[in-house]
Amino acid sequence: MARALLFQLLLLTALAAPSQGNRLGPTSRLRYSRFLDPSNVIFLRWDFDYEAEIITFELQVRTAGWVGLGVTNRYTRVGSDLVVGGVLPDGNVYFSDQHLVDEDTLEKDGSQDAELQRLTEDAVYTTMRFSRPFRSCDPYDKDITSDTVRVLAAYGLDDTLKLDRERTFVKSIFLLQMIQPDDLHVPEDTIIHDLELTDFLIPEEDTTYACTFLPLPIVSKKHHIYKFEPKLVDRNETMVHHILVYACGNASTLPTGISDCYGADPAFSLCSQVIVGWAVGGTSYQFPDDVGISIGTPLDPQWIRLEIHYSNFHNLPGVYDSSGIRMYYTSQLRKHDMGVLQLGFFTFPIHFIPPRAESFMSYGLCKTEKFEEMNGAPVPDIQVYGYLLHTHLAGRALQAVQYRNGTQLRTICKDDSYDFNLQETRDLPYRVEIKPGDELLVECHYQTLDRDFLTFGGPSTINEMCLIFLFYYPRNNISSCMGYPDIIFVAHEMGEEASDSMEGMMAMNNVEWTPENIKKAEKACKEAQQTVIIKTIDEIVENTTGWVQEIIPTARGPCSESSGGKVEPQDKTPAGFWTAPVALSGSSTATPRRPPLAALLLGQGAVSWLLATLRSRV
């Protein structure tokens, strides 16, 4: 009875909201594409129907043998799902939904949840097109979610279904990309402006933060920046960790030249309101057609700080770089002026992660109650449309959660399968409204099984960060809102003496990091009072305090019973309830809607950076 009522409730919710996405038939154009291997032998196209929760793949491989596509995880291929197919020499096709029982052995699923649309072979390619639900009721099928998905592709030189590691590839992809760049408007009067370093000699050091101050385009009337992309020197791509562009307040007195962002001269850490950002794995990003970065009015920034983080782990000498950000702007104005709000764990002085941790959570709190006072003008409700997640190598998952009047409202964004090598700006499936007084909590999940030393928050890739950048409109003057726990309380909970924050951090070195103490420290960090630091574009800083609230996990939505094949009894897990298969034929246009529950939910140099950061926050 309860299950039936829940199904009716979900059905009414779906019917009450308009649709998003197109119904995909066997010949529909698939909007997204990517090569999956370094030699460009395997080419994938895909698209999805967000309402029906169906995704369609088309795999094209330069082979006359079998091809396969599926989903795997970070640690092992065992348990990966793989849909395989091919064309026999006599012209007959074979196609099945399978999984890996070990690293090399395939076994056919009891439930066949992939539906073949087309399978052909010519003199060059074998092409397989099929659809599958986001979430089937077969435990051997990995879910397609709004997280990073590790796509598994494989092929053979003939029709013998045997995995060969030389022809098996894994690529991290954000499959449920809500906006396809080709669908966005490109203004005819587009102007390009580059913000870049020029022939900068990368130091022979593991970590360098290079900063300079550059003017934005000088225009006689208001314009909007509507797109940005990284401008990287080919041979230096692996050394550029991230690029950030910060807007400067027009009252700021800025230094000249290029220097360490967080070194001896604190002036090079001025300007803290991020307007665009790029990190490893990202590409270009075009804003939705109704938003842009305003330039050219008295209220708009005239100068920016360009920050480039270099990771020269091999200490290569004599490497010059001219990387930066390319901006596209237009006089064709958009409806909204956008801003970026930086959330997360305030990196210095408190952040630490124990060694040998299977799992460790960190939390950073933002309280918006002071926004209006600090903004100097009323702050209207902000509409969040996109986000960028950022941790370093130990990061495994991130999420931002919204609370109102002490009650959890929603998960704004998340990625439970975060990949350091795929950091990109992503669009939300719907716009999230944040009201003054709301609290925003960022949770970061780390794993340090490969480390026998404490990991501290800091600038190096082997240090850690816990940041989420929210892209929103209308713009206000708040640049960041981040929190950190009372480390003295944490030290005392761990049985250590500490009278100030520095002693508290040093005390962490005295702890024997057993699994029990790791969990104890995580609990203490979560229960400690948080200091919340709020900063404006004009470098005004205010603090407040708050407490980390519990995060209620979002319920998983329904799974889809197979439209072909028998579902084995052991496949009927209680993770979701049954829903009828959705027809794949036909096509229709649709308008945006609120998503279903399944989608409701990212050395000395270090010491100098920490000290400079602390100075900039005092």
Q: Is the separation of the CB atoms in 233 and 322 below 8 Å?
A: yes
Residue of 241, 242, 309, 390 with catalytic role: 390
What the block records as the tokens of 361 is 């959570």
CA 364 from chain centre, in angstroms, equals 17
Alpha-carbon gap, residue 151 to 170, rounded angstroms: 5
Q: Which residue carries 């562009």 as its tokens?
A: 245
Query: Residue 75 catalytic?
Result: no
Q: Hey, how many other C-beta atoms are within 10 angstroms of the C-beta on 189?
A: 9
For 375, the enclosing helix (H) or strand (E) is: helix 371-375
What the block records as the tokens of 210 is 């290079």
Identify whether 474 is preceded by a cis peptide bond (ω within 30 of 0). Answer: yes
Q: Is the separation of the CB atoms in 48 and 55 below 8 Å?
A: yes
What the block records as the tokens of 166 is 């030389």
Distances (CA, A) of 342 to 244, 441, 468: 12, 12, 6
Pairing of strands 559-560, 578-579: parallel
Residue of 32, 209, 262, 403 with catalytic role: 209
Q: Is 226 helix (H, G, I), strand (E, B) or coil?
A: strand
Task: Give 3-state DSSP helix, strand, coil % of the chain, rounded to 5.
Answer: 15, 40, 45
Establish how many alpha carbons lie within 13 A of residue 483's alpha carbon, considering only the half-sphere containing its beta carbon: 27
Alpha-carbon gap, residue 591 to 21, rounded angstroms: 7
Based on the number of CB atoms within 10 Å of its own CB, is 264 exposed (0-12), middle (13-18) or buried (19 or more)?
A: exposed
Query: Residue 430 catalytic?
Result: no
Q: Is the separation of the CB atoms in 482 and 530 below 8 Å?
A: no
Alpha-carbon gap, residue 394 to 445, rounded angstroms: 8
DSSP per position, 109-120: -SSB--EEEEEE
Tell me how many degrees the CA angle 240-242-244 measures, rounded to the nearest 5: 130
Q: Which residue carries 């991130």 as its tokens?
A: 398
Q: Which residue carries 């006359």 as its tokens?
A: 64
Q: Which residues are catalytic?
A: 209, 390
